[in-house]
Amino acid sequence: MEKNTDTNEYAVCRVCFRTCRLKEGEKGFCRARRMRDGEVVCENYGRITSLALDPVEKKPLALFYPGSYILSAGSYGCNFRCPYCQNYEISDAGEGDVPYKYVSPEELVDMAVSMKKHGNIGLAFTYNEPIISYEYVLDCEKLAHASGLKTVLVTNGSAGSAVWEALTDNTDAMNIDLKAFHKGFYDMISGEFETVKRNIAYAAERCHVEVTVLIIPRENDSIEEMRELSKWLASVDKNCALHISRFFPQHNMTDRPATDVALIYKLADIARENLENVYTGNC
């Protein structure tokens, strides 16, 4: 991060595409990073709001150690604003909005190691957006690898280049949420379409990657869009798993019904025109 010793000026956070320019004491859009003493710091470092031993398929990962479990941790904050977010209580939260417990990297890795007897293969960073606390993620991942554990990132894939490169160097598997396959949708959720596409392609060359798309009525549910999405993903990696998931109305998007199950299966068939590994979810 850029540092600025003049408190009347800005420091620039380069964790994601936003490059928030912050004055002393100000928080970024993600609500988890703040300018302090002239430097942008990770305010939610080690602040865990959610911790569970999950089946790896729940991430979802279909082709990465199927049948195993993974210790999954989340904090608070996110650099998107998805109106349908199922974890909005923590993703839309900042300091003081949600209870948390500080867990050091050493403590988290020790927990993961102790759960090997229950089928645990490692650590997953999920529930909120993990890239905004990438320093904590990296510290944990390095310790996890030293202890023989695998590491997983469940992310919107919107990190800046330097942060994304560091994460892909230390992550064994990712599930990247491709929200839609057009810029208009990303504009609606305050994201950036081209950054996510670029990061998916970069990660696919360096670690195991699977992609999820949530199908929302009237937003990203056309056959044409799925054909275009799957064709592009096949050009990145024909063997990349694509998870096509059903939407349910929640949070600030209750103005439409749940996605029709038949449509999910139809879109999966369309995706299979281009991809080898297509899965349906929430059906």
Which pTM was predicted?
0.95
Spell out a b/e string for 122-142, using b for 16 or more CB atoms within 10 Å of the CB, else e.
bbbbbbbbbbbbbbbbbbbbe
What pLDDT is recorded for position 8?
Answer: 60
What pLDDT is recorded for position 107?
Answer: 98
Distance in angstroms (rounded) separating the CA atoms of residues 97 and 30? 13
Q: Which residue, among 265, 264, 196, 261, has the nearest Cα to 233 in the 3D structure?
A: 196
In this model, does residue 5 exceed pLDDT 50?
A: no
Per residue in 216-265, pLDDT tens? 999 999 999 999 999 999 999 999 999 999 999 999 999 999 999 999 99
Q: Give first-to-last CA distance, the chain, whole Å.
A: 43
Per residue in 197-228, pLDDT tens? 999 999 999 999 999 999 999 999 999 999 99
CA-to-CA dists, residue 121 to 71, 147, 192, 210, 253, angstroms: 8, 11, 33, 18, 36
In this model, does residue 2 exceed pLDDT 80?
A: no
Residue ranges covered by each domain of the chain: 1-43, 44-281
CA-to-CA dists, residue 159 to 6, 14, 18, 66, 78, angstroms: 27, 8, 9, 27, 11
Per residue in 88-144, pLDDT tens? 999 999 999 999 999 999 999 999 999 999 999 999 999 999 999 999 999 999 999
Backbone angles phi, psi at 23, to 5 degrees: -85, 165
Enumerate residues 6+ apart whose C-beta is below 8 A from 89.
98
Distance in angstroms (rounded) separating the CA atoms of residues 242 and 240? 6
Distance in angstroms (rounded) separating the CA atoms of residues 59 and 154? 7
Strands (E), 86-193: 101-102, 120-125, 150-155, 173-177
Architecture of the domain whose range is 44-281: Alpha-Beta Barrel (3.20)
